[in-house]
Structure 1
Amino acid sequence: MSDHQATTRLLPWTTPEGKTCVLVSDGGESGFSRVADRIEDVQLEMADGLLDHAADMLGDDAATNPQLRFLGEQLSAALRDVRRVAESRGARLSR
């Protein structure tokens, strides 16, 4: 019998239909949880890189409307990922 209590964790991805994915565990560190940690780290690193790219592009008067629209779409996706990571980590801190 385990001494750990069942916990849930918001995962850093959704289903193809956009539904929330959660990990239900006994509170111990699992391999799947470590994969989620690595994906969160990659998402945060990608958001940092995208912010640097956005600063460069927004300072470039030659940037076209389609380029700026694509940048906006990518920034929106990165912000969604970062918000999800923050929600997941915040929920784990409050335990």
Structure 2
Amino acid sequence: MTTPNELRLLPWSGPGGKPCYLSTDDRDSYMSRLADNIEAVQLGTAADLLDEAEETLGAGEAGTEALRHLAQELTRTLRDVLRVATSRGHRLTATEPHHL
């Protein structure tokens, strides 16, 4: 039986926002590469949004709607980045040698 540490948390959610997992030993499989690519896009989007947030907040003249939109985008992006970090953390834990 596969343990949760052996499953890869994928960078997208399933129906109802439930997490999706991949069970494979092949890091070069289509699904593994797809997940890697989506993670890269998500991290790039986060970097771009951070720059946008710094610019918007630095201007000091952003209206309520602009700030609300920025907060919504930052929340969505932070959720994606947290999922990537969690997934990568689980994979590191699963690949570390066990010491007695």
Match of 1:28 among 5, 26, 29: 26
Give, as a single letter, the amino acid of the residue that structure 2 aligns with 1:72. A
**Where do residues 67-86 of structure 1 align in structure 2 (5 Å cutoff)?**
67-86=66-85
Could you tell me which residue of structure 2 aligns to residue 40 of structure 1?
Answer: 39
TM-aligned CA deviation for residue 28 of structure 1: 1.6
Q: Following the alignment from structure 1 to structure 2, what is the Cα–Cα distance between the partners of residues 20 and 53?
A: 29
Name the one with the larger strand percent. 1
- Give 1:76 shift: 0.6
List gaps (5 residues or longer) in structure 1.
1-5
TM-score, reference length from structure 2: 0.84
Kindly indicate which of the two structures has a greater share of residues assigned to helix.
Answer: 2
Please say which of residues 41-50 and 61-70 is displaced more in the overlay.
61-70
1:62-84 per-residue CA deviation (whole Å, 9 max, x = no partner) reads 21100000000100111100000
1:42-57 equivalent positions in 2, closer than 5 A: 42-57=41-56
CA distance in 2, matches of 1:88, 1:31: 17
State the TM-score, normalizing by the size of structure 1.
Answer: 0.88
Structure with more contact order per residue of length (Cα contacts < 8 Å, sep ≥ 6): 2
Q: Give every structure 1 segment of 4 or more consecutive aligned residues whose post-TM-superposition deviation is greater than 4 Å.
A: none
User: Which residue type is aligned with residue 66 of structure 2?
Assistant: Q
Alignment length, in residue pairs? 89
